[in-house]
A and B are shown apart, each in its own frame.
Chain A
Amino acid sequence: MMARVLEHLPEWVNGDAALVRRGRYLSATFLVEVGATAWLVTVHEGRVTRVERGPFLMRDWAFAVRASAEAWRRYWEPMPAPGFHDLLAMTKFGHARIDGDLRPFMAHLRYVKDLLTLPRGRA
C-alpha cells in the first residue's frame, strides 16, 4: 500500500544530514492523512523518532496535512504535474488541507515540505 512509504521516513530523514540540520529546532508530532489512513510522525530536533499508523484515539498533534491517496500519489510522482508539485499548490487547488497550530508548520515550512517530498520517485 502506497501510504506505507511513510514508514520509511525515519530511515530517509535521519540519513539525510542536511535535512536533519534544517529541522534541528523542530520537535513536534504532526498528523499526515493519506485518504482514510492516518499517520502520526514524531520529530525530535530534526530526527524522525517515530511513525505510527492510526486509527488513533484522543492523540495530540501540532498540525495536520491531509490529502487523498490519489493526490499523494500524484504529488509523489518523479516529475509531478503542475498543481501537484508543491504542498501549498495542492492546498490552493483543493487537493490537500493543512490545519492545526500553523506556527511550527510555517516556522519549519521548508523542513516539513522536504520531509513530505521524500517519497517522491520512491513511492
Chain B
Amino acid sequence: MAELEPIIGRYVRLDLAGRTHRVYFEEAGQGIPLVCLHTAGADGRQWRHLLNDAEITRHYRVLAFDMPWHGKSLPPAGFENEEYRLTTQGYVDLVLTFIRTLGLERPVVMGCSIGGKIVLELARLHAPVFRALVGLESADYQAPWYDDTGWLHRNDVHGGEVAGAMMSGLIAPQSPSETRWDTLWMYMMSGPGVFKGDLFFYRADGDFRDRVSQIDTTRCPLYLLTGEYDFSCTPEDTERTAAKIKGARVTVMREIGHFPMSENPAQFRRYILPVLEEIRTKD
C-alpha cells in the first residue's frame, strides 16, 4: 500500500490589490479552521508536521498557503519588471482575502516570524474575525542583526546559499539534523529577492512599537511563543511586546530557535498542543 499523507494540496485564485494571484495551499483535518503563516523567504511546507498531526487535525482544519512569490504560488503576471516588497497592508489583505475566499468562519491564525508579526496587526485591526491568534517568534520590533539585506540579492553572492547559511544560526543546536536541513532547504530554494522583499516588512514597515498597546485581547485571545535560541526575534523582544498588551500570553520555548514548527516539531508540539486545546475548549 502506498504511504499517503492526509495532506491535500489545492490552488485558489486570489484577487490582491486588483491583480489575480494563483495561490497554492495545503490542508488537512476537520473542525476549527487554523490558518498557518510561514516565515520570510520560505513556504507552507514548514507546517507539514502540524498538518500530519492527527492529535491536531482531529479538532482543527489546518490550512497553510504559500504566499505569492513563495513555494508553489507564482508571482503575479508582470513580476519580471518589479521588485518584490511585502508591506503591512498587503500582508493583512492577503490573509483576510484567503480567509474570505475560502469562506473560513472565525479561524485561528498562527504565524511565525513575519507571520507572527502580522498576527499583531490582525489582532489590532480585525479581532472579531478570529477565534484566537497565535504569534510565534513575534514582536512589535526586533533590532537587526545585519545592516544590509542587500547580501540576500546580488549577482556575485548566491542568494540561496547565503540565506541558508544565515538561517542556520537561528536554529537551536538541539534541533535534529533532518528537520534542521529541511528548514534550510526552503531558504536555499527561495526565488531571487523574495526573502529580501519579505524582510522589508519584518525590519522596516512592520515596526509596530507605536500601536500594539491598542490590541484588546478581550475581543480575541493572543498567544505569543518564542524560542530561547532565536536571536532575530529574542524572547526579550516578545516579552517587551507582550508587556504592552494586556492579557497577552507569553511562553518561552526551550531548545527551540526561530522555526519551531519546522526545526523541531516534537519539541514544538509540547508547547502548542496545550495552546490549541485551550483555544478549542474555551470558546
Q: Is A58 interfacial (CB-CB < 8 Å)?
A: no
B173 touches A80 (CB 8 A): yes
B156 touches A85 (CB 8 A): no
Q: Is B247 interfacial (CB-CB < 8 Å)?
A: no
CA–CA, A93 to B231, complex, Å?
A: 9
B169 touches A106 (CB 8 A): no
Interface size of A in residues (CB-CB distance below 8 Å)? 19
Bits for A103-121, please: 1 = Cβ < 8 Å to B, else 0. 1001101100100000000
Within 8 A of B (CB), among A73-91: 79-80, 82-83, 85-89, 91
Within 8 A of A (CB), among B179-233: 228-229, 231
Which of B78-86, B104-112, B160-168, B269-277 forms part of the interface with chain A?
B160-168
**Contact partners of A83 in chain B: CB under 8 A:** 231
A85 to chain B, nearest CB (A): 5
Cross-chain contact of B169 among A79, A88, A93, A102 (Cβ < 8 A): A88
**Contact partners of B145 in chain A: CB under 8 A:** 88-89, 91-92
A109 to chain B, nearest CB (A): 4
Interface size of B in residues (CB-CB distance below 8 Å)? 21
The A interface, classified by DSSP as helix, strand, loop or mixed, is: helix
A110 touches B172 (CB 8 A): no
CA–CA, A102 to B143, complex, Å?
A: 21
**Contact partners of B169 in chain A: CB under 8 A:** 85-89, 113
Q: Is B8 interfacial (CB-CB < 8 Å)?
A: no
Given A79-B174, A85-B172, does the pair A109, B156 have CB atoms closer than 8 Å? no
Closest chain A residue, CB of each to CB of B161: A110
Closest chain A residue, CB of each to CB of B163: A109
CA–CA, A86 to B234, complex, Å?
A: 14
Closest chain A residue, CB of each to CB of B232: A92
B173 touches A107 (CB 8 A): no
Closest chain A residue, CB of each to CB of B228: A82
CA–CA, A87 to B118, complex, Å?
A: 29
CA–CA, A88 to B167, complex, Å?
A: 10
Interface residues of B (CB under 8 A from A): 143, 145-146, 151, 156-158, 161-162, 164-166, 168-170, 172-174, 228-229, 231
